[in-house]
């Protein structure tokens, strides 16, 4: 008779977890994988120097900054902060985590020749990273930065291992990523699945699940069927009209959190959209409450202009009204504008946003009601359209929900290529992101919102919720940032 081996005797009794998601892409370098569909995977493989604790907010729409891979930090002067790193942390491949990895992480992004365009823009305030010793680094910014810690807590600042990255290269790392997070990479099949295994030496504690698999199931009905059949344990991106279907399964319930703002961008470089009276008319003709009530079952919220409550009481102005709906005033402005009936296309991706096509169709009807020659264009290549493209007049988008500071959620959202005359907006923004005076920052950002509302380079529609179907035996809560956190303190089994 063969006696059982020690490995068999110590068989892992923790359950595996499978998540049905709308997409699994091909590259998981965290400085490139910065889409909403990427965050569930990268968040569970990587860590940042500074962490975000969403549990401190009852609805998990705000967070407090807490130690991550850095166990503490202190300000040396207005432009320099020193970080003490956790000892005895290892990457998934066994390599020790040191200050050399921190320096490499940011140096690779900030290299002028790097491919990390969006991450580089987010982190452009960093001038340099200096190694003090193996477990101490100093980060110096180009100017005083009130948001450095928030930026260091964002996905683009996930720490990668220098030696491994250099050995496999950027492309190799994206296909076989290595981090310090609670789950380690096993296998990637783009458009099909991503398999991870528990990192039992994780510095925040041993994961409560043995493995974590993300399975791409693009169609909502197929995700619900997979949940019903026990093929998956959690599914994401449920539209409101499918919530009852999940409730009626009997095996599962719903979890949700408010995510980011959905909005419209107007291409003001296009001659059709150059007149701000036309843009103001378009904004006034949109009945946002009707969109919320009919397409989101009342569960989305209307923003008080270009703001998030998570900015905090020192920067958020609750007295700003929600965007107005006034079709009579819209018709008046339209008649005063230079608009002569030229076609205006609302461009949207077919599946990227929940209700994206339905909202486009509804908004186009509202524009037609005031006399605009509008139509919907469904285009999978929507993000590749340039300002010079005559087909691009309007497209939908969403902003940054974190980092929760106006230097990101306001400035970086709107200081983009489609707003032609934004010199004053940008001038104020640069002052706001380089002053430590909170009262001065409040005044700056309120002026920026005034400019935004008057110039109307776009308009906010609503703050959208994300709905998840979850097995009733699983205790798990979603965060506002699409992260799907499966760290040991956020997932348990009944």
Instruction: Tell me how far apart the alpha carbons of residues 456 and 441 are, in angstroms, rounded to a whole number.
Output: 22
Average pLDDT, the chain: 95
Residues 267 and 402 grouped into a single domain: yes
Question: For residue 416, is pLDDT > 80?
Answer: no
Residue 56 covered by a domain: yes
Residues 140 and 27 grouped into a single domain: yes
pLDDT in tens, 96-129: 999 999 999 999 999 999 999 999 999 999 999 9
User: What pLDDT score does 1 carry?
Assistant: 38
pLDDT in tens, 439-494: 999 999 999 999 999 999 999 999 999 999 999 999 999 999 999 999 999 999 98
- Among candidate residues 391, 402, 435, 399, the one with its CA nearest the CA of residue 416: 399
Residue 9 covered by a domain: no
Residues 461 and 485 grouped into a single domain: no
| Residue 9 binned pLDDT confidence (cut-offs 50, 70, 90) | very low
Residues 57 and 193 grouped into a single domain: yes
Q: Are 97 and 136 in contact (CB under 8 A)?
A: no
Residue 254 covered by a domain: no
Q: For every residue of the chain, which 3-state class applies, written as one string?
A: CCCCCHHHHCCCCCCCEEEEECCCCCCCCCCCCCCCCCHHHHHHHCCCCEEEEHHHCCCCCCCEEEECCEEEEEEEECCEEEEEECCCCECCCCCECCHHHHHHHHHHHHCCCCCCHHHHHHCCCEEEEEEEECCEEEEEECCCCCCHHHHHCCHHHCCCCHHHHHHHHHHHHHHCCCCCCCEEEEEEECCCEEEEEECCCCCCCCCCCCEEEEEECCCHHHHHHHHHCCCCCEECCCCHHHHHHHHCCCCEEEEEEEEEEEEEEECCCCHHHCCHHHHHHHHHCCCHHHHHHHHCCCCCECCCCCCCHHHCCCCCCCCCCCCCCCHHHHHHHHHHCCCCCCCEEEEECCCCCCCHHHHHHHHHHHHHHCCCCEEEEECCCHHHCCCCCCCCCEEEEECCCCCCCHHHHHHHHHCCCCCCCCHHHHHHHHHHCCCCCHHHHHHHHHHHHHHHHHHCCEEEEEEEEEEEEEECCEEECCCCCCCCCCCCCCEEEC
pLDDT in tens, 42-54: 999 999 999 999 9
Residues 207 and 333 grouped into a single domain: no
Residues 434 and 485 grouped into a single domain: no
Backbone angles phi, psi at 53, to 5 degrees: -100, 95
| DSSP bridge pairs for 75 | 81
Torsion sign (Cα): 448, 453, 459, 461: positive
Tokens of residue 332, six digits: 């008046």
pLDDT in tens, 248-260: 999 999 999 999 9
Q: Are 478 and 486 in contact (CB under 8 A)?
A: no
Q: Are 363 and 264 in contact (CB under 8 A)?
A: yes
Residue 113 covered by a domain: yes
pLDDT in tens, 362-406: 999 999 999 999 999 999 988 889 999 998 999 999 998 899 899
Residue 167 covered by a domain: yes
Residues 191 and 173 grouped into a single domain: yes
Residues 115 and 184 grouped into a single domain: yes
Radius of gyration over every alpha carbon of the chain, rounded to an integer in angstroms: 24
Which CATH number fits the domain that encloses residue 129? 3.40.190.10
User: What pLDDT score does 10 carry?
Assistant: 62
Domain enclosing residue 480, as ranges: 14-215+472-493
Percent of all residues in the chain with a pLDDT value above 90, rounded to a whole number: 92
Rounded mean pLDDT of 59-82?
Answer: 96
List Cβ neighbours of 332 (8 Å cut-off, separation of 6 or more): none
Contacts 24+ apart (CB under 8 A), 333-336: 333/277, 333/278, 333/280, 333/281, 333/284, 334/277, 334/278, 334/281, 334/370, 334/371, 334/372, 336/277
Residues 157 and 178 grouped into a single domain: yes
Instruction: Tell me how far apart the alpha carbons of residues 228 and 237 are, in angstroms, rounded to a whole number.
Output: 16
Residues 373 and 479 grouped into a single domain: no
Instruction: Tell me how far apart the alpha carbons of residues 418 and 398 are, in angstroms, rounded to a whole number.
Output: 14
Residue whose token pair is 């609503």: 462
CA 419 from centroid of its chain's CA atoms: 22
Number of domains in the chain: 2
Instruction: Tell me how far apart the alpha carbons of residues 173 and 29 are, in angstroms, rounded to a whole number.
Output: 6
Which CATH number fits the domain that encloses residue 312? 3.10.105.10
Residues 488 and 426 grouped into a single domain: no
Residue 248 covered by a domain: no
Rounded mean pLDDT of 285-303?
Answer: 96
Residues 142 and 106 grouped into a single domain: yes
| Residue 279 binned pLDDT confidence (cut-offs 50, 70, 90) | very high
Q: Are 490 and 290 in contact (CB under 8 A)?
A: no
Instruction: Tell me how far apart the alpha carbons of residues 75 and 79 are, in angstroms, rounded to a whole number.
Output: 8
User: What pLDDT score does 415 carry?
Assistant: 85
Rounded mean pLDDT of 60-84?
Answer: 96
- Among candidate residues 78, 413, 453, 467, the one with its CA nearest the CA of residue 242: 467
List Cβ neighbours of 444 (8 Å cut-off, separation of 6 or more): 428, 429, 431, 432, 435
Residue 84 covered by a domain: yes
User: What pLDDT score does 6 carry?
Assistant: 40
Tokens of residue 252, six digits: 């599962």
Torsion sign (Cα): 336, 371, 386, 21: positive
Q: Are 131 and 85 in contact (CB under 8 A)?
A: no
Instruction: Tell me how far apart the alpha carbons of residues 312 and 287 are, in angstroms, rounded to a whole number.
Output: 28
Output the furthest CA–CA distance in the chain (Å, rounded).
Answer: 93
- Among candidate residues 346, 354, 395, the one with its CA nearest the CA of residue 375: 346
């Amino acid at each position: 008779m063969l006696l059982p081996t020690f490995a068999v005797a110590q068989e892992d009794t923790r359950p595996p977890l499978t998540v049905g998601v709308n997409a699994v892409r091909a590259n998981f370098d965290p400085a490139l994988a910065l889409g909403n569909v990427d965050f569930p995977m990268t968040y569970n493989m990587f860590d940042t120097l500074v962490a975000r604790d969403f549990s401190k907010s009852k609805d998990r729409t705000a967070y407090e900054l807490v130690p991550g891979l850095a166990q503490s930090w202190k300000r040396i002067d207005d432009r320099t902060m020193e970080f003490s790193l956790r000892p005895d942390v290892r990457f998934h491949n066994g390599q020790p985590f040191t200050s050399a990895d921190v320096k490499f992480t940011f140096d690779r992004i900030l290299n002028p020749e790097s491919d990390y365009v969006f991450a580089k823009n987010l982190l452009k305030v960093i001038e340099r990273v200096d190694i003090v010793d193996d477990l101490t680094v100093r980060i110096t910014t180009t100017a005083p930065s009130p948001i450095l810690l928030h930026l260091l807590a964002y996905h683009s600042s996930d720490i990668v291992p220098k030696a491994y990255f250099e050995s496999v290269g950027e492309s190799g790392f994206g296909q076989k990523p290595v981090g310090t997070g609670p789950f380690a990479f096993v296998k990637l099949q783009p458009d099909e699945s991503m398999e991870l295994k528990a990192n039992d030496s994780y510095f925040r504690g041993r994961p409560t699940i043995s493995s974590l698999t993300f399975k791409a199931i693009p169609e909502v009905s197929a995700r619900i069927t997979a949940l019903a059949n026990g093929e998956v344990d959690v599914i994401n991106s449920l539209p409101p009209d499918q919530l009852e279907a999940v409730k009626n399964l009997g095996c599962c319930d719903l979890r949700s959190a408010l995510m980011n703002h959905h909005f419209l961008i107007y291409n003001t470089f296009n001659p059709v959209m150059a007149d701000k009276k036309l843009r103001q008319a378009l904004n006034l003709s949109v009945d946002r409450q009707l969109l919320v009530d009919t397409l989101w079952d009342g569960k989305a919220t209307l923003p008080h202009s270009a703001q998030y409550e998570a900015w905090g009481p020192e920067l958020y102005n609750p007295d700003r009204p929600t965007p107005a709906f006034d079709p009579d005033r819209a018709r008046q402005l339209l008649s005063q504008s230079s608009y002569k009936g030229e076609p205006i296309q609302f461009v949207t991706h077919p599946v990227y946003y929940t209700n994206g096509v339905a909202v486009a169709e509804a908004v186009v009807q509202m524009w037609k009601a005031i006399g605009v020659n509008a139509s919907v264009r469904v285009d999978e290549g929507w993000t590749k359209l340039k300002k010079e493209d005559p087909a691009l007049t309007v497209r939908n988008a969403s902003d940054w929900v974190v980092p929760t500071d106006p230097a990101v959620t306001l400035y970086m959202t709107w200081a983009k290529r489609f707003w032609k005359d934004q010199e004053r907006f940008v001038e104020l923004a640069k002052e706001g992101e380089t002053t430590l005076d909170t009262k001065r920052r409040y005044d700056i950002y309120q002026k920026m919102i005034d400019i935004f509302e008057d110039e109307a380079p776009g308009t906010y529609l609503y703050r959208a919720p994300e709905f998840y179907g979850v097995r009733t035996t699983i205790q798990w809560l979603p965060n506002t940032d699409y992260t799907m956190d499966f760290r040991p303190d956020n997932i348990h089994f009944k």
